[in-house]
Amino acid sequence: MKIVMLGAPGAGKGTQAKKIAESFGVPHISTGDIFRANIKNNTELGKKAKVYMDKGELVPDELVVDLIMDRFSEPDCSNGYVLDGYPRTIPQAEALDSALKANNDSLDFAVNVDVPDEEIISRMSGRRACLKCGATYHTSFNPPKEEGVCDKCGEALVQREDDKEETVKNRLGVYHEQTEPLEKYYAEAGLLHNVDGTKNMDEVFDSIKIIIG
């Protein structure tokens, strides 16, 4: 069971990736986690990645694929994995496919958590966070008892820069331009499955379970 998760920022694909991993006993793999683990363990690949990251540059696709393939070779991936946050572009998807093919391997599913832009903007721009204790709220779906005040510790709640409407719109623009074409790419490969991400998270997960069996 080798799965790639797709979906716009804020669609909930990370949450679903974790649920799949827990339910089916496979690792949830994000490129950020791979980078951090390799840098922490001072591996050769980690040293190479750190050179780019320290300069604030993107890690080249070839090196990212090397890091991912190295992660796939670990014992916990023997029954599969859920890949979250990669690939983000067609060239990255092609590089991943080529690397898998060289190992006589391939992906099984590309699951796209589909949520309209308007709902994502509403979801993300309504988020509020407590910087002191880490509690999170939503102005519509999970409001604090007192507006603007954390229920747990009484500190003022803030809207993170990433959650401001203009930032969300910009992130969605980048997504539509760079990442959304992956839907067509994986559809043409016969791997794409769309799920309605506007439902509650348990219903979304039920839809995914039907797809991956």
**Known catalytic residue at 160:** yes
Please tell me which residue in 36, 88, 164, 199 is annotated as part of the active site: 88
**Known catalytic residue at 169:** no
Please tell me which residue in 47, 160, 184, 209 is annotated as part of the active site: 160
Name residue 180's amino acid.
E
**Known catalytic residue at 171:** yes
Q: From the CA atom positions of the chain, what is the Rg in Å?
A: 19
Please tell me which residue in 2, 13, 71, 123 is annotated as part of the active site: 13
Please tell me the distance from the alpha carbon of residue 90 to that of residue 180, in angstroms, as a whole number.
9
Please tell me the distance from the alpha carbon of residue 45 to that of residue 134, in angstroms, as a whole number.
33
Quick one: tokens of 94? Answer: 């092609």
Please tell me which residue in 19, 123, 127, 128 is annotated as part of the active site: 127
In this structure, what is the dihedral angle of CA atoms 51, 56, 61, 66, given to the nearest 10 degrees?
40
Distance of CA 36 to the CA centre of its chain: 16
User: Which residues are identified as catalytic?
Assistant: 13, 88, 127, 160, 171
